[in-house]
Amino acid sequence: MNSPISVLIDEGRSSVGMPTGIGLQAINLHKHLKKYCNCKISDYEAMKILPKGIRKFSLDALINILALFQKYDIVHYQNNYVPLLRGKSKKIVTVHDLGVFLFPETVPFIYVKYNQHSIRKISQRADCIITPSETIRKEFLEMFPNTNPAKVVCCNDGIRDIFWNYGGSEKTLLEKFKIQPYSYFFFLGSLSRRKNLKFTLESFIEAKRKNLIEKNTTMLLGGQKWWGAADFKHLLHDDFGIKTLGYLTDEDIVTLYKYCKAFVFPSLYEGFGIPIIEAMSQNTPIIISNIPTSRELNSRHNNQMLCFELNDKDSFIEKLVELDKNHFSVRENLNYGDISMYNFDNIAKEHLKIYSRVLEEAN
């Protein structure tokens, strides 16, 4: 039975380009919330006509104007922004991470200043703040100690439907990407400085030059180039066994997880780590950097991932070598435990509980 609550999921980027992490979460949260309440998602497709440099600021102005006229019980903002103008709707925001404060050198200066300002205002303007992990909840409360702790709640990100029921095939790999199953390591995410890819690729190349991993083993990078990609542009060559695949469909992603030797997630910082839970859904061996959010997920799922210390090249290469040689036996013995909590139906229900609580407390 549907709840009488009316909700708007507001995420500008999901309708303005090819959605990635935050956009995909918003789209799929809306898709599943529709089953349980009156839920709509914002559509800012008309903003595509504006130059990218001013699109975000124009969008913020539009969001402020719309806030005065919206008749939803809840407007759930997805992108570190809550409008100044109140309107009648209760305002909830998801703060996906605090990287602009903790690792500002990994993103553009204007992006840092804009998001730092937006996040500082969130504590004053939002009726509730959602974080995707307990790590980010703790960081937020430490950074903004005047925030009422009861106003900041954790609700995990989810795994899209296709990851539960798609049987990606070896044929897809052979025909589309011209690679053999179980011949590669796989990374998925923005090709950016924050993902620690210069270290990762240099380590992989060193392991190959020293004949520590098989000659034909490759490193596949899925995702679009972003700020900081120039740091490792010179390493993105087939001669080094490194292939860039660009923006991938969900079908591509499932198949690449399923047939890799291991998924590599070497980030300097994350707010959650959606690719980690996606890889778990395909029973894929995983190599992670020893950062708080990845530790949180690893601990929750029986410490099955291989963990290396940031900047410890020997430790990282050791993990590559182990899974290059033993990936079949490691995969057969993996036990990530219950991951049904990441099913978007369950994620939607958890959000609905939060919405209901916010409305009850307002009455």
| Residue whose structure tokens are 């399923």 | 258
Q: Are residues 281 and 310 in the same domain?
A: yes
pLDDT band at 363 (very low <50, low <70, confident <90, very high): confident
d(CA 322, CA 344) in angstroms, rounded, equals: 34
Q: Are residues 348 and 304 in the same domain?
A: no
Give a yes or no: residue 177 inside a domain.
Answer: yes
Q: How many percent of the chain have pLDDT more than 90?
A: 76
Give the count of beta carbons closer than 10 Å to the beta carbon of residue 42.
Answer: 21
Tokens of 302: 């029986």
Give 109-168 pLDDT, tens digit per residue: 988 998 999 999 998 899 999 999 999 999 999 999 999 999 999 999 999 999 998 887
The answer on pLDDT for 67 being more than 80 is no
What is the span of the domain harbouring residue 299? Answer: 162-340
SS3 content of the chain, % helix, strand, coil (to 5): 50, 15, 35
Torsion of CA 38, 44, 45, 51, to 10 degrees: -170
Give 323-347 pLDDT, tens digit per residue: 999 999 999 999 999 999 999 999 9
Q: Are residues 329 and 182 in the same domain?
A: yes
Predicted confidence at residue 267, as pLDDT, reads 98
d(CA 152, CA 77) in angstroms, rounded, equals: 14
Per-residue pLDDT averaged across 96-112, rounded? Answer: 94
Predicted confidence at residue 282, as pLDDT, reads 96
Give a yes or no: residue 1 inside a domain.
Answer: no
d(CA 153, CA 167) in angstroms, rounded, equals: 35
Task: Report the candidate in 252, 257, 255, 275 with the shortest Cα–Cα distance to residue 265.
Answer: 275
Each residue of 315-339: b (16+ CB within 10 Å) or e?
bbbebbebbbeebeebbeeeebeeb
Provide the whole-model pTM.
0.93
| Arithmetic mean of pLDDT over the chain | 92
> Which segments within the chain are labelled E, that is strand?
6-10, 38-41, 74-77, 90-94, 128-131, 152-154, 184-188, 218-222, 242-246, 262-265, 286-289, 306-308
Candidate from 44-48, 133-137, 245-249, 344-348 with smallest mean pLDDT = 44-48
Predicted confidence at residue 14, as pLDDT, reads 53
Give a yes or no: residue 261 inside a domain.
Answer: yes
Q: Are residues 150 and 194 in the same domain?
A: no
Q: Are residues 28 and 173 in the same domain?
A: no
